[in-house]
Amino acid sequence: MTDTSSRPNPGVDLDAVASATYSAVFSDVCDAMGLRGQTVSPGLVPLGGPGTLIGWARTALSVPVEAAPARHYGGEIDFIDSLRIGDVAVVDCSRHPAAAWGELFSTAARGRGARGAVIDGLIRDRRKITEMGFLISGRGCRPTDSLGRVSIQEVDTSIQLGGVRVETGDLIVADEDGITVVPSAYAERAIALAMAKASTENKARDLLLAGGKLADVWERFRVL
């Protein structure tokens, strides 16, 4: 049985949230809740399939190593095999320019039910990852393998992602605009507010397309 007990609301329909919202909406609702520093600094961009990635963070720290471990890819295997339905793998591999993620890691993560990955570092096999529609953000691509260069040493630990602290259980929202991180204690409220705001923005958009003035739309809906 998949353990979802650590999630703020394990019953959230993440597919519905992903189809209706995006990172900017969650940034706005974080601002409204007084959380004004929850967007990751620019540099992490979508490198896989299209769409908005929304799910629960599972964090890992990958650090430089001088040689391959006795059990090759041991830390990575254990981490990916521990992923659960609804997870987003969030890996800090910012300390060495080797590819920390690739096609087979993506395939295994998807098989475990993970929704995607955010790699603060480099990936490889981008074409195959894109073809399979796996949602992943990273800082770029490089064919250099991670074995003997970097290795996952800590899992479910606090990490820094572009200036934002990320803990396992936080809500990750990533798309073409960037990444918003919602602390787990605020996630359920943020989802409700984001869904409502997205619906309001749709109404405002329809009115604008019908020729409505921006000033009038602002006064009526208070969204821009």
Tell which residue, 107, 183, 105, 91, has the closest CA to residue 139.
91
**Whether 190 contacts 13, CB under 8 Å:** no
User: Is 124 assigned to a binding site?
Assistant: yes
β-partners of residue 53 are 174
**Whether 86 contacts 14, CB under 8 Å:** yes
User: Is 125 assigned to a binding site?
Assistant: yes
Interstrand relation of 171-175 and 53-64 (parallel, antiparallel or unpaired): antiparallel
Task: Kindly state the DSSP code that residue 73 receives in the 8-state scheme.
Answer: T
Tell which residue, 120, 100, 108, 95, has the closest CA to residue 172.
120
Annotated binding-site ranges for Mg(2+): 124-125
Annotated binding site: which residue ranges?
Answer: 124-125
